[in-house]
Amino acid sequence: MSNFTVGRTLPYPRIYPKRPTASLVSKKVLSSILGQIAITSAFQFWAFWWVRGQEWYTPPEPAPGSGELKHDNYENTALFLISSYQYVLVAAVFSIGPPYRKPMWTNGLLMASIVALTAFSTLVLLAPPQPIRLLLDLMAIPTSAKRTLLVGAILNAGICFAFERWNPVAGALEAVSRGRQRRVRGGLEYRAVEGGMAGRAGAEDED
């Protein structure tokens, strides 16, 4: 639902002198996407291994009459609960605001969908109704574990927004690119000067 409302954010009232990035493979776009994937994956790995280290954890059992594991296990439960926040987070993080569009909170439909989905994810995490828990194949986990996952989701959101705000990877790539361009320009200028000096020397020899 959030993905359908992101594009309804209106343009910024003032035109920014620098045009937005048009290439999907630019350093800024790729570093943002890859960075968010890395952060999201890191929290999913954390949830997976964290739940396996709890004293109340029990390994998944094979389904009766099948060699496959049951869907209702603690690993799936932890991953679902943390990733349900991440789906909403992706829409919020990539909702580009100024200087090209208005701030995210000016998009009423987007904010309503983010609030509604976050509230639903929190309900499923902290106090899931029995029909929903059975429908989603979620295991019952202790209250302390629910709080830990909630804190993990909050940290995930904070790190994702901070990365998108400052994006150190894009800054480093931009610095490397500028250094390479300066070296290339310096080499071209040197060859131009060298060629000019050689030309003048040849002319003087002819005289």
pLDDT surpasses 70 at 165: yes
**Domain limits of the chain?**
2-166, 167-207
pTM for the model: 0.76
Lowest mean pLDDT among 32-41, 53-62, 161-170: 161-170
SS (H, E, C) the chain: CHHHHHHHCCECCCCCCCCCCCCCCCHHHHHHHHHHHHHHHHHHHHHHHHHHCCCCCCCCCECCCCCCECCCCHHHHHHHHHHHHHHHHHHHHCCCCCCCECCHHHCHHHHHHHHHHHHHHHHHHHCCCHHHHHHCCCCCCCHHHHHHHHHHHHHHHHHHHHHHHHCHHHHHHHHHHHHHHHHHHHHHHHHHHHHHHHHHHHHHHHC
Q: Read off the pLDDT band of 172 (50, 70, 90).
A: low
pLDDT surpasses 60 at 201: no
Q: For 120-160, what is each residue's pLDDT tens digit? A: 999 999 999 999 999 999 999 999 999 999 999 999 999 99
Q: For 68-120, what is each residue's pLDDT tens digit? A: 777 889 999 999 999 999 999 998 998 877 877 888 889 999 999 999 999 99
Residue 16: the pLDDT is 80
Highest average pLDDT, of 7-11, 28-32, 46-50, comes from: 46-50
